[in-house]
Amino acid sequence: MLRAVVLFGVMALLLRLSGLPARPGWRLVFGFFGGLGSLVVLNLLSPLTGMLFELNILTVAVSGALGLPGIGGLLIAHFILSH
């Protein structure tokens, strides 16, 4: 399953880099993988920050659909709910 997700992400990235016009459905796919990648990076930095995010469909959808403001919202929600 993980191999299929990684393969699909690589194919989406190659399509994006090819310069073909992106349809709205593909924009969601790019946002999904961008959000997933940013959450993985944040989780890799968790020993420094002390914040660990669960990688589920809700967190990836928020970060993928909203971009940087979505990640900021997740950070604020994590801070508020953990204290």
- Phi and psi at 74, nearest 5°, equal -65, -40
Token pair of 73 as six digits: 């919202």
| Average of per-residue pLDDT across 69-81 | 85
Residue 11: its pLDDT value, please? 67
How do residues 53-69 score in pLDDT, each as one tens digit?
888 888 888 887 787 78
Q: Does the pLDDT value for residue 83 go beyond 80?
A: no
Residue 65: its pLDDT value, please? 79
**How far apart are alpha carbons 13 and 71 in whole angstroms?**
21
How would DSSP label each residue in the chain? -HHHHHHHHHHHHHHHHTTPPPPHHHHHHHHHHHHHHHHHHHHHTHHHH------SHHHHHHHHHH-HHHHHHHHHHHHHHH-
Residue 19: its pLDDT value, please? 66
Percent of the chain residues topping a pLDDT of 70: 70
